[in-house]
């Protein structure tokens, strides 16, 4: 199993309905394929964490990289994991955030998993909180 984390920028002209369509698809498709993590949309940036079976995550990332709805992708983390850190988050359902208020639950979850022994959890928490700090 592995986790990948990246940031990117909205493509020019990405409108509300295209965003809603993307979010709906991502939440549904990832939940169906037992891919966990999160997608955050802030200040026209995407921040995503994907975790699951290694081949699935690699194949998905290759697809995402080519997607014209965003540009300037920078991979922040690509690491093997022993278990899915977001397995227990939101009942295992993939979640996408756009509003700051929705992130309270995420911070509560981070506080909880800090005490678990998943090695890359610290890195993922650090990357996520850093992103949110710079995109208030
Ligand atoms: C920012 C961003 C994040 C995405 N995240 C996912 C994702 O987590 N899961 C997913 O299935 N598709 C995601 N996609 C969509 C994929 O790029 C692709 O369109 C989708 O997997 C459908 O591919 P297919 O038509 O080859 O099945 C994302 C696209 C963008 C722009």
Q: Which two tokens stand for residue 72?
A: 């300037």
For the four alpha carbons of 86, 94, 47 and 134, in that order, the dihedral sign comes to negative
SS (H, E, C) 69-103: CEEEEEEEEEEECCCCCCCCHHHHCCEEECCHHHH
What pLDDT digit, counting tens, does each position of 25-59 carry? 999 999 999 999 999 999 999 999 999 999 999 99
pLDDT score of 117: 63
Q: Which fold has domain 2-134?
A: Alpha-Beta Plaits (3.30.70)
Mutation test residue for ligand 1: of 41, 67, 71, the one with most atoms within 8 Å of CB:
67
Query: What is the layout of strands, in order, in the sheet containing 70-80?
Result: 70-80, 2-10, 45-52, 36-42, 95-97
Mutation test residue for ligand 1: of 25, 37, 94, the one with most atoms within 8 Å of CB:
25
Q: Is 64 in the pocket of ligand 1 (CB under 6 A)?
A: yes
pLDDT score of 45: 97
pLDDT score of 1: 94
Task: Show me where the domains of the chain are located.
Answer: 2-134
Q: Residues of the chain whose pLDDT is less than 50?
A: none
Q: Is 26 in the pocket of ligand 1 (CB under 6 A)?
A: yes
Q: Exposure string (b/e) for 81-91, b if CB count within 10 Å is 16 or more? A: beebbbeebee
Query: Of all protein residues, whose CA lies closest to atom 13 belonging to ligand 1?
Result: 26
Task: Report helix, strand or coil for 9.
Answer: strand
Q: Spell out the residues 6+ positions from residue 11 whose beta carbon is closer than 8 angstroms to its own.
A: 68, 69, 70, 71
Q: Is 36 in the pocket of ligand 1 (CB under 6 A)?
A: no
């Amino acid at each position: 199993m592995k986790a990948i984390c990246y940031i990117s920028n909205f493509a020019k002209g990405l409108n509300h309905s295209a965003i809603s369509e993307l979010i709906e698809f991502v939440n549904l498709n990832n939940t169906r394929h037992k891919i966990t993590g999160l997608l955050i949309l802030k200040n026209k940036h995407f921040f995503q964490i994907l975790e699951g079976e290694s081949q699935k995550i690699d194949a998905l990332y290759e697809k995402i990289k080519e997607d014209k709805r965003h540009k300037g992708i920078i991979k922040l983390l690509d690491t093997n994991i022993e278990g899915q850190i977001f397995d227990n988050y939101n009942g295992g359902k993939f979640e996408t955030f756009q509003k700051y208020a929705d992130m309270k639950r995420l911070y509560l979850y981070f506080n909880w998993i800090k005490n678990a022994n998943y090695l890359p959890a610290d890195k993922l928490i650090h990357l996520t909180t850093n992103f949110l700090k710079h995109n208030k």
